[in-house]
Amino acid sequence: MSPRKKAQAAFASAVLLLFLSAIAGYFSIDRLLRNEKWVLHTYDVRNALGDLDWAILKAGRARTAYVTARSDDSLNQFESAVAEITPSLQHLCGLTRDNPKQLELCSRLEEITARRVALLRKSVQSAKESPLDDAAQHEFTRQNVPISSEMIAVMEQMRDQERNLLAVRQKMTRRLFVLMVVILAVAGVLALQMFAVHFRFLSAELEAREEAERSARNSEESLRRLAGRLLQLQDAERRKFSRELHDSLGQYLVGVKMNLELYADQANGAYLTEAMQLLGEAIAETRTISHLLHPPLLDEAGFSSAARWYLEGFAQRSGIEVKVDLPEDARRLPRPLALGLFRVLQESLTNIHRHSGSTKAEIALTILRDRVMLKVRDYGKGIAPETLDVFRAIGINSGVGLAGMRERVRELGGQLTIEACAPGILISASLPLSEMRTAANL
């Protein structure tokens, strides 16, 4: 996965974490609000119990005042207090209708309240009809005591039930609050980490892009220098072949001309024989120069035959022992790839002869399913580490031969590497085979 895709994945993960934390926060806050409503509902139930208790207490006090003083004001207070009991009881039952336990207790409380209110009304009615019947009032008071105790017990049970519910809901509220804080904290930390990873991958991508731009600029500068150097070498090569043609082939032809002239003047057969020998040497020299420029065996018999012919001549001219490992099926290599390998082989052996001081060299060609690899190893003095580092980095100032080989291999879609050995160096050229075969077939 590229740094850009990794950065995008990290950014998407961070956004997803923030989104999930927002959802979790929303549900947690919703639960907190609902629990808060239930807490308030508990206090409402407790207040409703207090209102009912207070209304019954006022009714009882008003009844006692009426029985004692027989005043109309006390009777009005009693009726007003009794009128408050029913709405208070209905409000209490409405608040507890969602709780089966409380609803059962509320039903009992309705029944007890009805009995107590009926007893109070009998006491008031008795006081109206028989003001002096204290025994009856004492009996009403005695009957009211167990009813009052039962009512107090039921109300206390309802209060206990609400206290338990309140404790449970407060505990749940605290848990939800802690859970929400933990979720938001964890999601925030993970999101920050994902954003940090996103920033790191984005920075790596930017650095890689800047490095690629620097490499492109350096490669462009390297190509300009290489082009200038190649022009100089082209002129030097032309001067070299000019000298070769003048000093060897030209001399042979001049000798042939002189011998033919002498033969024409003196009719001596020895001059004709010598002229034919010189002409044969001129033909051989011409063939050698032509083969060095472009060996015909490369097109006719393939890379292996051309390489063996060149290596035999190289070993004879340089005195360097050459160990060869070339497969016979190398003749099936596409023409551009075979020519590129041959030029790499030529340049490598030229560098060995000129610069390494090695007495032997090893050549190996390996053909894989999708790649072909050429390795050239010498046992000389090698390359300075700083020069090798520069070549590995950008290829500038590493010698026109090495830079030329690398550019040629790069044009073929391959890679050229140079490794320091003990002693000497190893030059490896790896070229793709499948693409070249497709291009050759086209």
pLDDT band of 209, cuts 50, 70, 90? confident
Q: Is residue 277 part of a domain?
A: no
Average pLDDT over residues 425-433: 89
pLDDT score at 290: 57
Q: Is residue 170 part of a domain?
A: yes
Q: Is residue 241 part of a domain?
A: no
pLDDT band of 375, cuts 50, 70, 90? very high
pLDDT band of 268, cuts 50, 70, 90? low
- At 304, the amino acid letter reads S
Q: Is residue 245 part of a domain?
A: no
User: Comparing 140-144, 223-227, 345-349, 367-371, which segment has the lowest mean pLDDT?
Assistant: 223-227
For the purposes of burial, counting CB atoms within 10 Å of the CB of 131, is it exposed (0-12), middle (13-18) or buried (19 or more)? exposed
- For 90-111, the pLDDT digits (tens) are 888 888 887 888 888 888 888 8
User: Comparing 60-69, 118-127, 163-172, 431-440, which segment has the lowest mean pLDDT?
Assistant: 431-440
pLDDT score at 244: 62
- 360-367, strands of its sheet edge to edge: 321-325, 360-367, 371-378, 425-432, 415-420
Average pLDDT over residues 418-430: 86
Best mean pLDDT range from 17-26, 164-173, 301-310, 359-368: 359-368
CATH number at residue 302: 3.30.565.10
Average pLDDT over residues 28-39: 70
Q: Is residue 366 part of a domain?
A: yes
Last residue of a domain, one of 157, 186, 203: 203
pLDDT band of 390, cuts 50, 70, 90? low
Q: Is residue 281 part of a domain?
A: no
Last residue of a domain, one of 169, 203, 237: 203
318 shares a domain with 183: no
Average pLDDT over residues 18-29: 73
Task: Name the average pLDDT for the chain.
Answer: 76
The answer to whether residue 399 scores a pLDDT higher than 50 is: no
pLDDT band of 438, cuts 50, 70, 90? very low
Q: Is residue 226 part of a domain?
A: no
299 shares a domain with 199: no
Spatial neighbors of 218 by CB under 8 A, at least 6 apart, are 394, 396
User: Comparing 32-36, 102-106, 291-295, 409-413, which segment has the lowest mean pLDDT?
Assistant: 291-295
Whether 383 and 420 have beta carbons less than 8 Å apart is answered as yes
Q: Is residue 393 part of a domain?
A: yes
* More confident site: 363 or 186: 363
329 shares a domain with 187: no
Q: How far apart are CA 207 and CA 68, in angstroms?
A: 101
Last residue of a domain, one of 158, 175, 203: 203
Average pLDDT over residues 330-354: 81
The answer to whether residue 396 scores a pLDDT higher than 50 is: no
- The structure's pTM equals 0.41
Q: How far apart are CA 342 and CA 338, in angstroms?
A: 6
* More confident site: 188 or 349: 349
Kindly report the three-state secondary structure assignment for every residue of the chain: CCHHHHHHHHHHHHHHHHHHHHHHHHHHHHHHHHHHHHHHHHHHHHHHHHHHHHHHHHHHHHHHHHHHHCCHHHHHHHHHHHHHHHHHHHHHHHHCCCCHHHHHHHHHHHHHHHHHHHHHHHHHHHHHHCCCCHHHHHHHHHHHHHHHHHHHHHHHHHHHHHHHHHHHHHHHHHHHHHHHHHHHHHHHHHHHHHHHHHHHHHHHHHHHHHHHHHHHHHHHHHHHHHHHHHHHHHHHHHHHHHHHHHHHHHHHHHHHHHHHHHHHHHCCHHHHHHHHHHHHHHHHHHHHHHHHHCCCHHHHCCHHHHHHHHHHHHHHHHCCEEEEECCHHHHHCCHHHHHHHHHHHHHHHHHHHHHHCCCEEEEEEEECCCEEEEEEEECCCCCCHHHHHHHHHCCCCCCHHHHHHHHHHHHCCCEEEEEECCCCEEEEEEEECHHHHHHHHC
pLDDT score at 441: 45
Structure tokens at 97: 């209708």
The answer to whether residue 439 scores a pLDDT higher than 50 is: no
* More confident site: 255 or 288: 255
What is the number of domains present in the chain? 2
For 105, the domain range is 3-203
* More confident site: 190 or 55: 55
CATH number at residue 79: 1.20.120.1730
* More confident site: 19 or 267: 19
Structure tokens at 286: 């011409």
The answer to whether residue 213 scores a pLDDT higher than 70 is: yes
Q: How far apart are CA 308 and CA 328, in angstroms?
A: 11
Rounded to the nearest 5 degrees, what angle is found at the Cα of 322, between the Cα atoms of 316 and 324? 125
